[in-house]
Amino acid sequence: MTGSRKGDEGRRIAFLGTGLMGAPMARRLLGAGFAVTVWNRDPGKAEALAGDGAVRAETPDDAVSGADVVITMLTNAEAVKDVLFDRGAADAMTPGTTVIDMSSIAPHFAHDHSARLAERGVDHVDAPVSGGVVGAEAGTLAIMAGGDKDVIDGLADIFAPMGRVTRVGPSGAGQLAKLANQQIVAVTIGAVAEAMMLIEAGGGSQAAFRDAIRGGFAESRILELHGKRMVERQFTPGGSSSNQLKDLNAAMETANALSLSLPLTAAVHAEFSEFVANGNGEKDHSGLLLHLEEKNARPGEKQ
């Protein structure tokens, strides 16, 4: 390991996954005085936190050794499974450890991971987040937790530097809430993008339109933040389209398993599928505007 610990003498945290979201979340914990050991597949992303007081571990099992709480913030369910079980992190945890999975994965994976950890005497909470990089940096994330109430209540001091936690139900309920959140985000991005196109096609100003409807019934964080991105044509990702599609895939799979028909979600899922398939997975999800503009381009017109 490299770096030096700082902070209180309380619980030790291992943070696995210090990418776009994980790094600022780990910094919030360090700033609150926790001793945090970090690991990332790309060592450079973990090393960048050493200056904030983190200890960098070479491997996941090294990171979790001696930790009281393990936080995972990884790309998808396969990555979580790989780090926890294939790479041996779960086997390196002592009974009584708590895993907080803050990644966004399908609920059935959360159930499976929880059961496998329980066999080792390890508690599990699925606690995905919403709020993007801005929320991660500010410590204002919406944290949707699924799991045992007493376990979640006992983690209040750890959740507090990162945002506002709400227990939404038993194991898997946090992931279900995140999928529902992502449905709302995706459908609203689609609605704002189509409205922007309608205004521009009719000769209006997108910027003035956005200002005009602020504070009305159409007001939302999507209109505020992603509407601004659309007006300014700035699509460097806070949240990538590939991750948005991943969550929509999981939402549709879950809906099918529950015998639900979700026509609006299905429609925006199809559009994001095309957008990502056309090589735009690393654009911000507000970049769906580009895809819809392309579909409406007149022959010979270039976007």
Q: Give per-residue pLDDT as tens, 269-293.
A: 999 999 999 999 999 999 999 999 9
Instruction: Show the CA angle centred on residue 273, arms to residues 271 and 275, nearest 5°.
Output: 70
Structure tokens at 155: 């983690």
Residue 166, helix vs strand vs coil: strand
Burial class of residue 219 in the structure, from the number of CB atoms within 10 Å of its CB (0-12 exposed, 13-18 middle, 19+ buried): exposed
Buried b (16+ CB within 10 A) or exposed e, 111-126: bbbbeebeeeebbbbb
Q: State the average pLDDT over residues 101-116.
A: 95
Q: Which residue has the tokens 């990089």?
A: 133
**CATH architecture group of domain 177-295:** Orthogonal Bundle (1.10)
Q: Which homologous superfamily does the CATH classification assign to the domain defined by 12-170? A: NAD(P)-binding Rossmann-like Domain (3.40.50.720)
All structural domains of the chain with their residue ranges? 12-170, 177-295
Tokens for 152? 């979640």
Under DSSP, the state recorded for 2 is B
**What percent of the chain has pLDDT above 90?**
89
Find the helix or strand (DSSP H, E) in which 187 lies. Answer: helix 173-201
- Give me the pLDDT at residue 239, please: 85
Catalytic residue annotation = 178
Report how far residue 287's alpha carbon sits from residue 275's, in angstroms, rounded to the nearest whole number. Answer: 9
Tens digits of residue pLDDT in 239-269: 899 999 998 999 999 999 999 999 999 999 9
- Which pLDDT does position 3 carry in this prediction? 41
Condensed to tens digits (0 to 9), the pLDDT of residues 153-206 reads: 999 999 999 999 999 999 999 999 999 999 999 999 999 999 999 999 999 999
Residue 6 confidence (pLDDT) above 70: no
